[in-house]
Structure 1
C-alpha cells in the first residue's frame, strides 16, 4: 500500500511530467541520430569491405602466379640446363667445373631480374655437398648458412619425393623467408626463396598478416604478431566480430597460406564527411535545445515552485520569519501572498506558546539546580564535629563560614544565572572545605582572566566535575592530589566567542572504554538519566542547553599524558 502511494505521488509530480514530456520530445531526435550512425557505418563498412576484398583477391592471384612461375622454372631448370648436372662430376679440369657453376649462377641471376618478388635461388647436391646460392639482395653469408642447414636437413630426412615440391621457412635478421624446394633427378634440390615480409608490404594494407594453414601468425605488417594473434583470438571469442577492427581473410590453396587484412574501425569511419558532421553536430543541437528548455521551465515554473516549497519547509522547521518575494508570475504571486499571510498568523499564535515554554523551562532549571549530591552535607557536619572535639576553634569558625557561604550559594533557587567569578568563588570555598578533609594532600589552583569574570553561567556548573575528580580520581591516600582550573576563550567559525573552562587533575585517569562511554553519555539523555554516576554531568549539560540553546554548549573529556583526566566545558560568552 505504501509503495503504491509513493508511485502515485511520483507520477503526480509536476517535475516528473515535465521530464516525461522532455523525453517524448528528445527521443525521436536520439532515434534519428542512432539510425543515421548505424546506416552510415553499414554503408561505409560494405564499401570498404568490397574494396579490400577485391584488392586481396587480386593480390592472392598475383602471388599464386608468382609461386607457380617459380615452381615451373625450378621443375624445368635441369632439363633446359643439362650441363648443370655435371657440377658434382670429378673433372680433372677444375676450370670446367668452375665455369659450369658460374653459368648456373648467371642463369639464376638472369631469372631473378624477371622475377623481382623472388629473393634467391639455390642449387644443392647432397652427393658432394655442393651448394650454390644466388641472391639479388644483401645478407648473402647468412642466407648461405641457412640454406646449407636447411638443404642438409631436407636431404637427410627424405621429406620430399622426386618431382615434388616442399615448403619450408627460414628466419634471417627478423625477416621470414618461404622456400619452395623441388627435388629432381639425380638427387638434386632446387629452391626459390620468397621474402614474406616484403611480399606482405606489397599488399599495401596498413595492417595485414600472413598465417599458416593451422592459424599461426607467420609475419605481420603494421602490428606486432602478438597483437594480431590477440585480435584474432578476441574475434573468435566474440563469434567472429571485433569492435575495433574489421577483418578480411582469404586462403591460398596453392601456397598453403592465409592472408589477413585488419582495418581499424577509426580508419573506416574517418572518410565519412556528411555523416560524421551529422553525428558530431546533432548532440550539440540537442544539448542547446535541452539547455533552453530546462532554463525556461526552471525560470517560469520550477524555481517559483521550489521557493514556495522551501518556504514551507522553513516554516515547518520553526523559522516563522520566512517570507517570499512577489516577483514571479501572477499565479505564483497570489500563492506567495497567501503564504506570507499564513506565516504571519502562525508567528502571532506561537508567541503565547513560546512564552509558556519559557516559564516551563525556568521551572525545570530551578528543579535541576537543586539536584546536588547530599552526602557532602553530612560529611561537612561530621568534619566540624571532629574539629570541635579537637578544640580547634579557629578551624571550626573558618569551616562554618565556608559551609554557610556554600549552603547560601546552593539554596539560592531564585537565581538561575550567575557570573563565572561567583561560580569560581564557590568552587574555591568547596575545595577549601575538602582541604580540611585531606590536609597536606589536596591542593588546587584557580586562574581566570579578569575580563571573563562577568560571563554568565548557570549555578553549580563546575562543582559536579570537581566532586567527581575527588571521588573517582583520587584513590591513593598517601599521594598528593592536585586540581587545576583555568579559564580561556575560543572563537567560532561564525565569529562568535566561547568561554572555555578546563579542569585537570593528576589522579588515576579513566580507561579508554569508560572515557568513550562518558563522552556518549554527556548528551544522551536516556542513558545518562538511567545511570546515577553520570546524572550530575548530564544535569550540567542540560542546564547549559536550557540557558544557551541546543548544541551551543559542549563538555569534552580527554586523558592527560602524565595521568589524570581533563574536562573542558565550553559555552557562549554572554554577560548578565
Structure 2
C-alpha cells in the first residue's frame, strides 16, 4: 500500500493519458511554430530585398540625373560665347558684349530647365571678376558662390562641393592649366535640394518611413524632415560600419523605443549614401500580429489542455481513485458499498459490480467465520473430552483410600475440588471465561494434585495477577493444560523438591502467563520439536493440548499472540502464554476480530 501511494502518480493511467495527449499535440504545435518562424523569416527577407531594390532604383535615377548635369557642364564649359566673354571681351563693342552676355544667360537658363534637380547655373568669369547666372544678370563682382567651387580649378573634370548647407557641381575651363592662363572661368550648378527632398518623400509607401542622402565625410545630410534621432543614428552607423559593408547593406537600427529597418547604398560617382529607413512595426507589423495570434493560440491551447486534463481527472482519475479507496477499505476489512456515479458509463457498471462483490464477500466471510467458530467449539469439546483416564483412575483411587482411612475432611475437600474441576471442563455454556475463573480452575487442579502428591514432593507457586486483568475474557482451558504437562512430563518421576512456578506479568502491552518447572527430563531435541510444532501448525495436524491452546489464542487475539516455549531458569520447560493487555482496569481485551467474541 505505501509503495502504491508513493508511485501512484507515475504508474496510474491519468498521467499516461496526459502525456499521450501532449505527445500528439506537441509535434503539431511545433510544426505550426516552425512554419510561422519560416514564414516570418521569408517575409523579412522579401521586405529587405524590396527595400534594397528601391534604394538601387532611386540611386540609379539620381546618378542618371547627376551624369546628365555633369554632361551639360562638360558640354557648355567650352561654349564659344563664354570663351569670348572670358578672353576677348575687351575687343567687343557694347552691342556685341550685350548680345554675348544675353546668349550666355539663355544657355544657362536652358541648362537649368533641362533638369528638375538644378536650382541655378552660374558662369564665374575670373578674367572679368564677374558672374553670369541663370537667375540674375551679370554682376559687377565675382559672386560669393564662387567660394563653393573655387577648388574645382585644381581638378580635371567635374567636381562636387558642399558649402553653407548647399550642394554644388562645377567644372573649370580646361585651358586654365596652360601657362599664363590660370583661373579663366568656372561653370557651376547648384543642386535643388528642395526638389530632391520632395523626391525622397515619395520614396516609401510606409508610414513614418523615409530616405536621406548622407555624406559622412563632410557631414552633408539631405533628408525629408526625418527625426533627429534616426538621422544621428544613421550617420553614426555609416561612420562605424565595417569595411565589408562599406558600399551597401541592410541593417536594423534602434533609436530609443523605436526600431527601423535600414537599406543603404553609396554612390561611387558622388560619394554620398542613399539611405532608406522603414519603422519595424510598419514592415513586420502584420507578422507581429500573427505572432501575437500564435501566442494567443498557445495560451488557448494551454487552457484547453488544462481543461482537458481536468475533464480526464473527473472522468477517469477521480472514479479510479474512489474505486482504489474502496479496495483499500476491503483490504482493511471494511465491506462498505460505494455510492454509484451519476454518469451511466463503464464506471457505473464497475461500481455496481464492486458493491455486489462486497456483499458477496460479507456473506462468504460470515460463512467462513461461523465455520471457524464451529471448528473452535469442536476443538474445545475435543479438549474437554481429553480427560486423562489415568488421572481419573488415580483421583478415584485416592478418594477410595481417603474414605477407607476415614479422613472425612480430605474426602470433602477432594470431592469439592474434583467436582469443580469436572464441572468447569465439561460445561458447554460458553467458550470464553474471565481470566480469574481460569486461574481458579487451575488452582483447583493443583489442590487435587496436592492431595495426590505430597506437598513436600511438589510445590506450586502462583504469582499475583496484574490489576484490571481479572475480568479479561479468555478461551477456556488455556492455563491448566500447561500445569498438567508440568506434573505429567516434568515432575511425575521426581521424588522430592519438585517445583512449579506460575507467574503473571505485563510487558510491552502484553499479558504474559508463564508456567515453569524444575523437571530434568526435557532434552534440547524435545524443546526443538515442540517449537517446530508450534510454528508449523499444518492443517493435517492434530490440535490437542499445547497446540490446541496456541491455535485458539491466535484465532481469538491474533497471530502475534499465542504460546512460546523455552528452557527456564530452573532447568525445566517454561511455557509462556502471550495475551493482549486490557486497555483499562475492569475492561476485557478486545479480540482482533470483533465477531470472534461471544457472550457467556
**TM-score per shorter chain, which class?**
0.3 to 0.5
TM-score, length of structure 1 as denominator length: 0.42
- Larger Cα-atom Rg: 2
TM-score, length of structure 2 as denominator length: 0.41
